[in-house]
Each structure stands twice: as C-alpha cells, then as structure tokens.
Copies of this chain bind each other. A is one copy, B any other.
C-alpha cells in the first residue's frame, strides 16, 4: 500500500464505496460472528448474492464465465477491503471447489446447467471427499458408485462435509473401480441433495455448533451425465481444483487487520485506573513476534503472487503457504485467548447466533475468542494436514 499506483488507488476507492453501502446489518453481524473459516451460512449466502449482482462474486473465474478480469493485485486489494469492512468471507465450495472442476472438465451442457447457480448463490454445493477411513489419505476412499445403465448407484458415506445440512447440491469423489492404483478408480460426481437415499447427520464441534456433517448414501441413483470428467479419472479433477486457486491466496489481507483489532483490544482499560493488558511488556512482545509472522505470511503470499505473474509455478510454495498461514492463525488465536483471559472462558453459543437476542457476558468480540481458538485447531488438520504438507514440501526440495 505504500507506493500504490493511481490505478490501484482508484480501484480501492471504488471497492470501498461499494462496501460502505452494500452489506446489510445482518451481513455485517455475520461477519463479526465468524468463528472459523466458515462464516454463518444464511447471511453469507445473502452477501454472495449481492456480490453476484455487482458482478464481483468470482474474481478468480474466467471473465466469460462471470469472473472480474482483475489482476492478482486487484484481487488482493478487494480481499483487503472486504476484511477491513468486516463482511463475511464467502463460502469457498461453489466458487473455489466445484466451480473450477466444472470449468476445467465439464461439458458445455454441464457448464450451462451448473455454473449459473453456483455463481448466483441459488445453489449451495457441499463437498463429499473425506470418509471415516479416508481423511488425509483420500486415495483410500470406499464410497462406491456402481454402473447401472445411465445411472450410478451410490452406496457408502462421506464425512467432514461442511454445511452439508444447508446444501442443496453436492460434489463428491466416489469409487467406480478397485483395479490398479487406489487413485485410479475414483470418479467425480455431482449430486442433488434431494436425490432419494441421502441422509445428512450434523456433527457437533468443540464449540458446540454443528458445522460439519456426515452424509449417508443408500442406493442413491445418480445420472451419469452428472459425472465430471471421465470415469475413474476423478483424481485428476480434484488435483486440478487444488492447483486452480494456487497463487491467488490473500490470507495476509485477513491477518493484518485482525492483528490491528487485537492490538486495540489489548489496549482496553481493565478497570478505572486505566490499566490495560497492553501495559504488559510480555504481551507487547508476543504481539510484536506475531506481527513478524503475520508480515512474513503477507509478503510470502505477495511474493508468490508477484512471481506467478512472471510465469513461475508456485510448486512447493503452496504447501509452505498452507503451513505458515494455518500456524500463524493458530498462534493468533492463542494470543487472543491470553489477552482476553477470563472473559473468554464462558462458551456462549446461543448469544453468538446471528440475530440472537440473548445477551452474553462481556463484549461481543470476546465471546468469539474461545470458539475461534477451538475451531482454529482444525486449520492444521483440514485441506491436507500440516504433516502431509511438510512431507510434500520435503519431497519437493529433496527432489530438486
């Protein structure tokens, strides 16, 4: 931001002007009451629809399919301004997970059928990848799709399906063959959640809220035209999706203002004498150390983005970014917990619901601290555990 060119300054102003007026009070409340990477469902989808109407919902998509045509820097500016305004982050399933799969491997008919609903937010797609026995080891998945004429018959179950109880659509990896390497017999399918034989069971998380789901399939009939890519080649589709978003990350855009807010929180008076937690030099020191880590994430992200433009592939840097951003997020959540202290101890699930009329103890922002700390433990587990990422990273540097 230091030496921002005129074009960027104008772009930022345009974004800011829109954000000043576009989100409703409920949407901003949902933004504030976000206690994990997944913001409250209803209001976030409302925001999704507003951004869709503005044409800004899918900055990473190709222009002809509803993208914005922004540069990587502009996308970063957009993310920075969204975070500063405090709107909820969009749910990634439609735009960053299933969308790219259809964009990259769908037929023209599939694109026409599925993309509009993803983009507009009419549909919400949930992910059916993990299974009880296949978490970090996706190739071990067992959920079976047997060919039967024009359909597949689906049996088995999926788990860690975020917001499965809110979704009307699902994209899933299923086993269509057990021949060859484990990855070889996997197929990428699109499902309607109202297909007969699907049952959804929410899982209660550490903060007492259901965010993930188990999804059970008994003889669910899925038309073969809902298959993305070739049969038994679903692994390629999933890999493509993972790579799609690489180099466009803007985690620093969230971290930098979050750290500012934490500094402000630490300066609040503890009592009439005006003392604050920020008077504690050890807290200051931890804030300083955290800021260095935050800046390291921010500038690593920007460096990867900048160098991508020059035609480089992020390669192992994608794993590196996953590791350092999840770890700094966890470190942030710990320091936040220590700064807020006793006020963070009561778990106030009811008061945290958007639109709740239940008064909680202390400041609203303090109520978020414990759920956020608990939920953030997942950051080093999901999307390829940090152990898996470190192994990938090692493999890459040992091979070079």
Chain B residues with CB under 8 Å of A285's CB are: 282
- Proximity bits, A268-284, B CB within 8 Å = 1, else 0: 00000000000001100
- Bound CA–CA A128/B197 (angstroms): 71
Chain A interface residue count, CB cutoff 8 Å, equals: 3
Residue of B nearest to A280 (CB): B281
- Residues of A28-81 whose CB lies within 8 A of B: none
Chain B residues with CB under 8 Å of A282's CB are: 281-282, 285
- Bound CA–CA A285/B281 (angstroms): 11
- Residues of A222-269 whose CB lies within 8 A of B: none
Residue of B nearest to A285 (CB): B282
- Bound CA–CA A274/B281 (angstroms): 22
Residue of B nearest to A282 (CB): B285
- Bound CA–CA A245/B285 (angstroms): 43
Taking the nearest CB of chain B, how far is it from the CB of A271, in angstroms?
22
- Bound CA–CA A281/B281 (angstroms): 8
- Bound CA–CA A285/B282 (angstroms): 8
- Residues of A347-363 whose CB lies within 8 A of B: none
- Bound CA–CA A281/B285 (angstroms): 11
- Bound CA–CA A285/B285 (angstroms): 11
Taking the nearest CB of chain B, how far is it from the CB of A104, in angstroms?
43
Taking the nearest CB of chain B, how far is it from the CB of A81, in angstroms?
37
- Bound CA–CA A219/B367 (angstroms): 77
- Residues of A128-166 whose CB lies within 8 A of B: none
Chain B residues with CB under 8 Å of A281's CB are: 281-282
- Residues of A277-306 whose CB lies within 8 A of B: 281-282, 285
- Residues of A11-42 whose CB lies within 8 A of B: none
Taking the nearest CB of chain B, how far is it from the CB of A287, in angstroms?
13
- Bound CA–CA A204/B281 (angstroms): 43
- Bound CA–CA A282/B285 (angstroms): 8
Taking the nearest CB of chain B, how far is it from the CB of A185, in angstroms?
33
Taking the nearest CB of chain B, how far is it from the CB of A278, in angstroms?
15
Taking the nearest CB of chain B, how far is it from the CB of A288, in angstroms?
11
- Bound CA–CA A282/B282 (angstroms): 7
Taking the nearest CB of chain B, how far is it from the CB of A213, in angstroms?
33
Taking the nearest CB of chain B, how far is it from the CB of A394, in angstroms?
15
Taking the nearest CB of chain B, how far is it from the CB of A292, in angstroms?
15
- Bound CA–CA A285/B284 (angstroms): 13
Q: Provide 4 A-B residue pairs closer than 8 Å at the C-beta atoms, listed in order of the A residue.
A: A281-B281, A281-B282, A282-B282, A282-B285
Task: List residues of A whose CB falls within 8 A of some B CB.
Answer: 281-282, 285
The 4 closest A-B pairs by CB, nearest first: A281-B281, A282-B285, A281-B282, A282-B282
